[in-house]
Amino acid sequence: MSANDHGPQGADHVEIVEVGPRDGLQNESTVLSVDDRIRLIDRAVAAGVRRIEAVSFVNPKRVPQMAGAEEIMAGVRREPGVSHIGLVLNRRGLERAVAAGVSEVNVAVPATDGFCTRNQGCTVDEMLDALADIDTDLQGTGIPLSVTVSTAFGCPFDGEVPAGQVVEVVNRITGTSAVEIALADTIGVGVPREVSELLRAVGAVADGRTLRCHFHNTRNTGYANAMAAVDAGVRVLDSSLGGFGGCPFAPAATGNIATEDLLYMLHRSGLHTGVSLSGAAELGAWMGERLDKQPPAYLGRAGAFPA
Amino acid sequence: MSANDHGPQGADHVEIVEVGPRDGLQNESTVLSVDDRIRLIDRAVAAGVRRIEAVSFVNPKRVPQMAGAEEIMAGVRREPGVSHIGLVLNRRGLERAVAAGVSEVNVAVPATDGFCTRNQGCTVDEMLDALADIDTDLQGTGIPLSVTVSTAFGCPFDGEVPAGQVVEVVNRITGTSAVEIALADTIGVGVPREVSELLRAVGAVADGRTLRCHFHNTRNTGYANAMAAVDAGVRVLDSSLGGFGGCPFAPAATGNIATEDLLYMLHRSGLHTGVSLSGAAELGAWMGERLDKQPPAYLGRAGAFPA
């Protein structure tokens, strides 16, 4: 199975990559149990999600929210056509991911040294070397690789990120077996016109790789950015149930764009996702209960339209 | 002075109509004093706002939040090129508005009988007759008229609103002296593609009138809708400092798109508004203090980028 198997099913189909179990939870002060996370993943799949960022193989001592990746992968219901993605940042993480039986590996490579150093403890160049190592170790496993370029629209430490810098990172990624490259607005600073421009620049060098986008709604531009990506032809979008998530380097900020709110916008635009809006809204509310927090998502409060 | 005097100053200029003092406050449980509202209006103008929905000439017994319109108009600092708009729903309101010295009159005409009956106590037909009366009384005053078509994207009572129904209302409005017609997503249900389509349909019959848009972020589509309007050529947008506002018929819902968040998106897109982002963010925070509520706007929490 390659990431492309999950790709466009036609121009009016948008594939949702549910990142709630990983990006949504990794910075929450409340740590969800392994059982709760298994339930979240299985329920998201039952609601129609076909790709889900289920676990992270980072050091559980550094990110206790993500502990228990092996137990989660052993506990979730597996079914054909559903991809459980594991985030991996080094060879040790990949070893664990392969042993745990992930369907797909995602590696995050920041576009900026400022973020990479503080978040991953190495320079971008060193991270690209780590990616090459991971890619080598992946050979023969049959597990597809996707790579997310973090801080592609701006960095909390380095500031503005020129498109050329992102293009350079993407160029290096095309030297690997990655079937998909995601552009991530990690701190939620981008605006729709930047999305269109960066996609154009990156599209020119992506060498046939599927492009995916990952937006945060930190400054209320996340949904406009998602729509700009769709208008530019992107058909794979990350989103997080309830709109949870965020960045430790932007503590006051809200999280990822919410799956339920994204579905509302896409479905009402005549686009299909295969994911149930009511199912997603219920799960977003459930996450709010478990985390004892009002979800940033609005659908649960406002209700769908027509009701 | 006509509304068109405030119109496009070039393709990269977007005019902000600040609606915080009226739409932003009219449903808040905390009633701001006349003095606070004068301060809000004067400070918005000092931040660069050139058109501001300052007051409403509805019955203060029904909407106590809007009491004191005359005192506000007498108290605000007037200066050339700045338009203080008064909302008017009938001849009696217009009489008060003219006497109070508004720069501009705005009349709201819902596209649906369900909303019109409950909000304004009459059918859409009757409201269009009231508009014609107001227009007659306006002759010779030199005060420009703009008309807002409420519930243009959906109605909490009648449900879906066909574009043809909005076009019909707009057709009737073009029989008046209105220089500008606003399409309002009163309950925040629209999505960008509907914005493009409705603007196309309405543009074909608007007979040279300036088109303006008014969005609520009730389901997180407000900023995407604003961008779709700009992409369709609209250069006048309503927004509310702090993102306050809302609709009594959608009590759990958040309000208008926030001026500071809209400015962030527009300015970063290379568009100009003449309004200071930091000034708007300060005022949104100030409104939050006066209303003792966290502003729905995100800019104040996340900060601008680059900082």
Summarize pLDDT for A48-95 with one digit per residue, the tens: 999 999 999 999 998 999 999 999 999 999 999 999 999 999 999 999
On whether residue A171 sits in a domain, the answer given is: yes
The reply to whether B291 falls in a domain is yes
pLDDT at B248: 66
Which residue reads 């989103």 in tokens? A239
CA distance to partner chain A, nearest, from residue B110 (Å): 18
Burial category of A105 from C-beta neighbours within 10 Å (exposed 0-12, middle 13-18, buried 19 and up)? buried
Nearest CA in chain B to A299: B219
Q: How far is B59 from chain A (nearest CA, A)?
A: 28
- Residues B145/B138, Cβ–Cβ less than 8 Å: yes
Tokens 């079914």 map to which residue?
A: A79
Kindly tell me if the per-residue pLDDT of B95 is higher than 60: yes
Distances in Å between the Cα of A270 and the Cα atoms of A11, A137, A225, A289, B93 are 11, 42, 18, 31, 42
Residue B246 Rama label (left phi>0; alpha psi -120 to 50; beta): left
Nearest CA in chain B to A228: B224
* Domain that includes residue B161, residue range: 3-302
User: Which of A218, A224, A298 is nearest residue B223 as measured by Cβ atoms?
Assistant: A224
Task: Give residue A126's pLDDT.
Answer: 98
Contacts of B297 in chain A (CB under 8 A): 220
Collect all residues of chain A within an 8 Å Cβ-Cβ radius of residue B261.
Answer: 219-221
Residue A223: list chain B partners with CB under 8 A.
220-221, 223-224
Q: Look at residue B271 in the predicted model and tell me its pLDDT.
A: 98
Neighbours of A92 (CB within 10 A): 12
Tens of pLDDT, residue by residue, chain A (307 residues):
233 333 457 899 999 999 999 999 998 989 999 999 999 999 999 999 999 999 999 999 989 999 999 999 999 999 999 999 999 999 999 999 999 999 999 999 999 999 999 999 999 999 999 999 999 999 999 999 999 999 999 999 999 999 999 999 999 999 999 999 999 999 999 999 999 999 999 999 999 999 999 999 999 999 999 999 999 999 999 999 999 997 666 666 679 999 999 999 999 999 999 999 999 999 999 999 999 999 999 999 999 998 8
Task: Establish if A95 belongs to a structural domain.
Answer: yes
Q: Which residues contact A44 (CB under 8 A, 6 or more apart)?
A: A18, A20, A21, A52, A241, A280, A283
Between B248 and B81, the more confident residue is B81
Residue of B nearest to A253 (CA): B302
Q: Does B229 reside within a domain? A: yes
- Kindly determine whether residue B187 and residue A305, on different chains, have CB atoms separated by under 8 Å: yes
| Any domain includes A307 | no
Instruction: Pick the residue of A194, A218, A223, A225 with the most B CBs within 10 A to test the interface with B by mutation.
Output: A223
B187 found inside a domain: yes
Residues in chain A closer than 8 A to B250 (CB atoms)? 302
Q: Which residues of B touch A299 (CB under 8 A)?
A: 219-220
Q: Tell me which chain A residue has its CA closest to the CA of residue B307.
A: A159
User: What's the rounded Cα separation, in Å, for the pair B259 and B256?
Assistant: 9
Contact across the interface for A193 and B269, Cβ inside 8 Å = yes
**Residue B79: burial class (beta carbons within 10 Å; 0-12, 13-18, 19+):** exposed
Please tell me which residue of chain B has the smallest CA distance to A246: B302
Number of domains in chain A: 1
A232 contact B CB<8A: no
Taking contacts as CB-CB distances below 8 angstroms, the residues of chain A near B228 are 227
- Which residues in chain B touch residue A251, judged by CB atoms under 8 angstroms apart? none
| CA–CA gap between residue B7 and residue A75 (Å, rounded) | 60
Which of B227, B297, B305 shows the shortest C-beta gap to A192?
B227
What's the gap in Å between the CA of A56 and the closest CA on chain B? 26
pLDDT at B188 over 70: yes
Task: Kindly state the average pLDDT of the residues B19-25.
Answer: 94
B139 touches A at CB < 8 Å: no
**Res A27: pLDDT:** 87
CA-to-CA distance for A300 and A286, rounded, in angstroms?
10
CB contact under 8 A, B192 and A265: yes
Whether B155 sits among the annotated catalytic residues: the reply is no
Put simply, the answer to whether B223 touches A227 (Cβ < 8 Å) is no
The answer to whether position A164 is within a domain reads: yes
Report how far residue A121's alpha carbon sits from residue A115's, in angstroms, rounded to the nearest whole number: 9
Cβ contact B189–A305 (<8 Å): yes
Residue B97 predicted with pLDDT over 80: yes
Mean pLDDT of B79-98: 97
Asked if residue B307 is part of any domain, the answer here is: no
Taking the C-alpha atoms of residue A148 and residue A186, their distance in angstroms, rounded to an integer, is: 10
Quick one: closest CA in A to B299, which residue?
Answer: A219
**Which spans in chain B are helix H?**
34-46, 69-75, 91-100, 113-120, 124-138, 163-173, 192-203, 222-231, 259-268, 277-291, 299-302
SS3 B232: coil
Complete DSSP assignment for chain A: --GGGGS-SSTTB-EEEE-IIIIITTT-SSPPPHHHHHHHHHHHHHTT--EEEEEE-S-TTT-GGG--HHHHHHHSPP-TT-EEEEEE-SHHHHHHHHHHT-SEEEEEEESSHHHHHHHHSS-HHHHHHHHHHHHHHHTTT---EEEEEETSS-BTTTB---HHHHHHHHHHHTTS--SEEEEEETTS---HHHHHHHHHHHHTTSTTPEEEEEEB-TTS-HHHHHHHHHHTT--EEEEBGGG---BTTBTT---BPBHHHHHHHHHHTT-B-S--HHHHHHHHHHHHHHHTS--S-SHHHH--S--
Which residues in chain A have their CB less than 8 angstroms from residue B187's CB?
A: 305
Q: Is residue B224 less than 8 Å (CB to CB) from chain A?
A: yes
Which CATH number do you get for residue A162?
A: 3.20.20.70
Q: In whole numbers, what is the pLDDT of chain B averaged over residues?
A: 94
Partner-chain contact A253 B301, CB within 8 Å: yes
8 Å CB contact between A146 and A179: yes
Handedness of CA B94, B100, B106, B111 (dihedral sign): negative
- Among the partner-chain residues A217, A269, A298, the one whose CB lies closest to the CB of B192 is A269
**Residue carrying structure tokens 């430790």:** A248
Strand A210-215 to A104-110 pairing: unpaired
The residues, any chain, with a CB within 8 Å of residue A292's CB and separated by 6 or more, are A30
Q: What is the pLDDT of residue B261?
A: 98
CA angle at B17 for the pair B12 and B21, rounded to the nearest 5°: 155
B11 close to A (CB below 8 A): no
Going A172 to A175 to A176 to A177, the CA torsion angle's sign is positive
